[in-house]
């Protein structure tokens, strides 16, 4: 079974230094997948393949047509603002 799981992740910008309203520096970027326990549980079943998209990736890569979506048996969209 193929699952498309979109969302339940965040982009973290840390640390952020604000020297003035005109000078803001971001010194790091990472992502955190809040839905990792669900992904792990689904994949533990053995016959479930999970393709996860973070929200910032889904903006550009989420399937746009019924044909593209039809390659998945299940589509989960959770906390995805895109």
Q: Where are the domains of the chain?
A: 2-78
Give the span between the Cα atoms of 54 and 10, in whole angstroms: 7
Is this model's pTM higher than 0.95 or not?
no
pLDDT the model gives residue 11:
83
pLDDT the model gives residue 82:
65
CB 56 within 8 A of CB 80: no
Series of mean pLDDT values for 10-residue runs along the chain (82 residues): 95 87 89 94 96 93 97 95 71
Phi (first) and psi of residue 60, to 5 degrees: -95, -25
């Amino acid at each position: 079974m193929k699952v498309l799981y979109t969302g339940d992740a965040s982009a973290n910008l840390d640390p952020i230094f604000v020297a003035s309203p005109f000078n803001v520096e971001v010194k790091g970027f990472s992502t955190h997948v809040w839905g990792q326990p669900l992904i792990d549980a689904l994949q533990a079943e053995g016959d479930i393949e999970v393709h996860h998209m973070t929200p910032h990736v889904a903006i550009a890569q989420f399937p746009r047509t019924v044909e593209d979506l039809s390659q998945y048996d299940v589509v989960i969209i959770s906390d995805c603002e895109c």
